[in-house]
Homo-oligomer: A and B are copies of this chain.
Amino acid sequence: MIDAQKKSRRASGRTTLADVARAAEVSPITVSRALRGERGVDPQLVERVRKAVEQLHYVPDPAARALASQRSTQVLVLVPLLSNNLFVDVLEAIHRTLFPQGFQPLIGVTHYDTAEEELLLRTYLPMRPAGLLVTGFDRSEAARQLIARSGVPCVHMMETSTAPNVASVGFSQADAGAAMTQHLLERGYRRIAFCAAQLDPRVMQRAEGYRRALKQAGQYDPRLELLSAEPSSMALGGRLFESLLALNPDVDAVFFCNDDLAQGGLLAANRLGIPVPDRIAMAGFNDLAGSDQMVPPSPPCAPHANR
């Protein structure tokens, strides 16, 4: 039994890079380079390494990697909710993109709470994720500094920014809100209400777009805005719709800030025997599951990107 066989007191039993190196008769660093696909390694050695890896069933240790390189392969992704399918779709797309490249999404849920987001950042940033994806720009100053000082590359999702050194991917929520309102105006509706819940920044930006479009058309009436800070739900959509009708009997269209509210509003209208869209038109947002099953159904949307 030679030296290489002597057992350490702490042996984890794990096959290590050094084991592979011995088997392939190269130095450990060559194995490391070969495994990470670093170029500039003799193809013959790469092949020797590959065989040794296979024979020994070698699997790299992520913790040792992270410690030595100061970077893990996890990508921290912070979303407000999982109960809104919009974010589930986003997470699926992120996984489909990252995972095959050797990165793993690490999901954190903020519940639209900046304090919770801050806590998640404090917990996960020390893991030195390879990247960070956050939702929108609404966060605590402390969170902003945590991100900046961590040095972890950060991309903002679901909103856009033109600020320098800020990466973002999304669309203008305000423009989208204005476009929806404009569409209703073009269909001939004049008393267009806006029903919203959650009141997160993106909802408020859509509200801003709604106002902009109506003011431009000279049709803006603040009484037609019904905002609730409650979490969005079908039940709330129904209640908002009933309140709206009671407060403004002359309303002829409703722009719900999210599809679940719209679904609830539509079901309430069905219950109350109010014809849609003859008596009142309804518009939703985000094309959530089930909207195509309503009575009347929402029109088909263009297929989502990145599906």
Q: Which positions in A face B, CB cutoff 8 Å? A: 12, 59-64, 66-67, 70, 72, 82-83, 85, 88, 91-92, 95, 99, 104, 106-107, 109, 123-124, 126-128, 233-235, 238, 260, 263-264, 267-268, 270-271, 289-290, 292-295
Instruction: List B contacts of A260 (CB < 8 A).
Output: 289-290
**Contact residue among B88, B123, B238 (Cβ-Cβ distance under 8 Å from A293):** B238
Whether B127 and A63, one on each chain, are in contact in the complex, defined by CB atoms closer than 8 angstroms, is yes
Whether A293 and B63, one on each chain, are in contact in the complex, defined by CB atoms closer than 8 angstroms, is no
Whether A106 and B109, one on each chain, are in contact in the complex, defined by CB atoms closer than 8 angstroms, is no
A104 to B289, CA, bound (A): 30
A123 to B105, CA, bound (A): 12
A264 to B60, CA, bound (A): 48
Whether A62 and B293, one on each chain, are in contact in the complex, defined by CB atoms closer than 8 angstroms, is no
**Contact residue among B83, B123, B295 (Cβ-Cβ distance under 8 Å from A104):** B123
Q: Would you give 16 A-B contacts (Cβ < 8 Å), ordered by A?
A: A12-B70, A61-B67, A63-B63, A67-B67, A82-B92, A83-B289, A92-B109, A95-B109, A99-B123, A233-B289, A234-B289, A238-B293, A264-B290, A264-B293, A267-B293, A267-B295
Whether A91 and B95, one on each chain, are in contact in the complex, defined by CB atoms closer than 8 angstroms, is no
A254 to B100, CA, bound (A): 42
Whole-angstrom distance from the CB of A53 to the nearest CB of chain B? 14
**Contact residue among B124, B127, B295 (Cβ-Cβ distance under 8 Å from A271):** B295
Whole-angstrom distance from the CB of A197 to the nearest CB of chain B? 14
Instruction: Please name the 5 residue pairs, one residue from A and one from B, whose CB atoms are nearest each other, closest first.
Output: A63-B66, A63-B67, A234-B293, A82-B88, A234-B290
Whether B123 and A60, one on each chain, are in contact in the complex, defined by CB atoms closer than 8 angstroms, is no
Instruction: List B contacts of A263 (CB < 8 A).
Output: 290, 293
Q: Name A82's closest neighbour in chain B (CB-CB).
A: B88
Q: Contacts A63-B63, A82-B91, A83-B88; is A235 near B292 (CB within 8 Å)?
A: yes
A37 to B91, CA, bound (A): 36
Q: Name A268's closest neighbour in chain B (CB-CB).
A: B293
Q: Name A236's closest neighbour in chain B (CB-CB).
A: B293
Whole-angstrom distance from the CB of A228 to the nearest CB of chain B? 16
A92 to B81, CA, bound (A): 10
**Contact residue among B70, B85, B99, B127 (Cβ-Cβ distance under 8 Å from A62):** B127
A95 to B108, CA, bound (A): 10
Q: Name A59's closest neighbour in chain B (CB-CB).
A: B126
Whole-angstrom distance from the CB of A9 to the nearest CB of chain B? 14
Whether B124 and A293, one on each chain, are in contact in the complex, defined by CB atoms closer than 8 angstroms, is no
Instruction: List B contacts of A92 (CB < 8 A).
Output: 82, 109
Instruction: List B contacts of A104 (CB < 8 A).
Output: 123-124
**Contact residue among B60, B85, B91, B267 (Cβ-Cβ distance under 8 Å from A126):** B60
Whether A63 and B59, one on each chain, are in contact in the complex, defined by CB atoms closer than 8 angstroms, is no
A95 to B61, CA, bound (A): 26
A251 to B260, CA, bound (A): 32
Whole-angstrom distance from the CB of A233 to the nearest CB of chain B? 7
